[in-house]
Amino acid sequence: MRRKFKRHILIPLILLVYVAIMVVMALPKYQESGNWKEFTIILAVSLILIVVIYFVYKRKEKLRDKFNNRN
């Protein structure tokens, strides 16, 4: 039986994997420069946006399901 991922889980998960790959690729550059403040700010903003996207999609999906159940 095939399991269907909900959009509010799939999109943030894909973005999280992307951010993890970018962190691994950028880590040597920031280790050389020692500019950890910039690195942590970029990482924190990315993670906050992923969490916001999760909740926005979750709310949107609930509203869609509520609207579809009325009809």
Amino acid at 33: S
Per-residue pLDDT of the chain (71 residues; tens, 9 = 90+): 466 777 788 999 999 999 999 999 999 999 898 889 999 999 999 999 999 999 999 999 888 888 888 76
Which position has the token pair 């962190």? 23
Structural domain boundaries in the chain: 7-65
The contacts of residue 5 (CB under 8 Å, 6+ apart) are 13
What pLDDT, on the 0 to 100 scale, is given for residue 7?
77
What pLDDT, on the 0 to 100 scale, is given for residue 53?
95
